[in-house]
């Protein structure tokens, strides 16, 4: 499958700009009066996880902006890119499982 055109030299810019220190996500809610102390504590922990994930999503979006010269791809082009990413994700999962199994073997 053909790869989608990318900007030459984007990686150096992405390495410099796509760092967590440049991104901040805060989730505000107005549930404080409705939650028990324990519910508020647990919710805060979970919302912090969501915020951390949102930062990773934002970083990936900026990286994509730097990597690709435009965003007006056809659905077919997006599908090609998505399928290639899916294969990579499966491979990462296989390698992660292998690494975990090696830890258990020791």
Whether 77 has a pLDDT exceeding 80, the answer reads yes
Secondary structure of residue 19 in the 3-state scheme: coil
- Specify the pTM: 0.74
pLDDT beyond 80 at 49: yes
Instruction: Tell me the pLDDT tens digit for each residue of 26-47.
Output: 999 999 899 999 999 999 999 9
Looking at residue 3, what is its pLDDT?
Answer: 67
Domain positions in the chain are: 1-72, 73-106
**Across residues 65-90, what is the average pLDDT?**
90
* CA pair distance 2, 96, nearest whole angstrom: 27
Residue 25: what are its φ and ψ, rounded to 5°? -130, 130
Report, as an integer, the average pLDDT of 65-84.
89
Rounded to 5 degrees, what angle do the CA atoms 8, 5, 55 make?
Answer: 75
Question: At which residue do the structure tokens 């899916």 appear?
Answer: 86
Q: Residue 60 has what pLDDT?
A: 95
Token pair 């599908």: residue:
79
């Amino acid at each position: 499958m053909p790869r989608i055109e990318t900007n030459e030299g984007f990686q150096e810019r992405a390495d410099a700009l796509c760092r967590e220190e440049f991104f901040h996500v805060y989730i505000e809610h107005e549930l404080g009066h409705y939650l028990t102390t324990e519910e508020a504590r647990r919710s805060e922990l979970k919302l912090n996880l969501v915020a951390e994930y949102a930062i990773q999503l934002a970083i990936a979006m900026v990286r994509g902006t730097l990597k690709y010269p435009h965003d007006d791809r056809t659905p077919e082009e997006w599908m090609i890119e998505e399928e290639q990413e899916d294969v990579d994700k499966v491979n990462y999962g296989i390698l992660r499982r292998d690494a975990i199994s090696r830890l258990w073997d020791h």
